[in-house]
Amino acid sequence: MSYKNLLVDKKDGYAVVTVSRPQVLNALNKRTVAEILQCFDELASDKNVKAVIVTGSGDKSFVAGADISELNAADREGGLEITRNGQAAFGKIEALPKPVIAAVNGYALGGGCELAMACDIRIASEKAKFGQPEVTLGLIPGYGGTQRLSRLVGKGKAKELILTGEVIDAQEALRIGLVERVVPHEKLMSEVKALAAKLADLGPIALRLAKNSIDTGFDMPMAEALKVESERFGEVCDTEDKNEGTKAFLEKRKPQFKGK
């Protein structure tokens, strides 16, 4: 499918999804959110795509936030529609049965920060900026920010960032656990693509079940979470990929995973 506000490039077993509205720093309007939902629905069923990169077009912004003109016009019902659509789209990213990497190349504010948090791994350019500044507009985060941020950095730090609307740099984001890695700006995409290619070379069933086990068990008591892990472990042991991976290790060769 072709998109108006997204660019999708597939190669080497992974896809690069670029939010492309450079005239407004890639701000998320209703159409862009709908396209994200549709795009990730399609990527979920594409067997040739084993990992996904999400980034923003241009050299300044990942996603600078939501479309303020749409928010300005929204009443209660309109606001509910906006937040539910955004949560559905970002939930689709979070639930994708494949690893998703955010390549944060610039401003990741409001909905942009929430988009990055919906991904599995966040790698930031040294020029990146993060924040949930919605309160400075008389709003609150609505695409999952109040929930995902606290799970990533802790309740107290999440409250500090959300209640003040403070914008932080990439090194502070790394320090508090909001991102996993900070790299030189000019090396961002090469490092992220290298990681995506590495993931695409691994067994897709193992990646899917490992991601599912982490996400499913995260909010469970330990005993219940360990049961989830055991079930996923048993499931992966019944695959051809497990047999190939363990056999290749014993034979000292590179495994050839088939996703079966």
Q: Would you state the structure tokens that stand for residue 152, as one six-digit string? A: 């990533």
Alpha-carbon distance of 101 to 191, in angstroms, equals 11
Do 20 and 5 form a contact (C-beta atoms < 8 A)? yes
Residues in the chain: 260
Q: Which listed residue (35, 70, 126, 134) is catalytic?
A: 134
Encoded tokens for 209: 């079940």
Active-site residue, 134 included: yes
What's the order of all strands across the beta sheet hosting 167-169?
61-63, 107-109, 129-131, 167-169
Contact 223, 169 (CB under 8 A): no
Residue 256 CA to residue 225 CA, distance in Å, equals: 31
Distance of CA 258 to the CA centre of its chain: 25
Question: Nearest CA to 94 among 66, 120, 55, 114?
Answer: 120
Active site residue 114: yes
Q: What is the CA radius of gyration of the chain?
A: 19
- In angstroms, the CA 171 to CA 177 distance is 10
Helix axes 30-45 and 76-95, enclosed angle (nearest 10): 30
Q: Which of 77, 114, 180, 231 is catalytic?
A: 114
> Which 3 state secondary structure label does DSSP give 41?
helix
Under DSSP, the state recorded for 49 is -
The residues carrying an active-site annotation are 114, 134
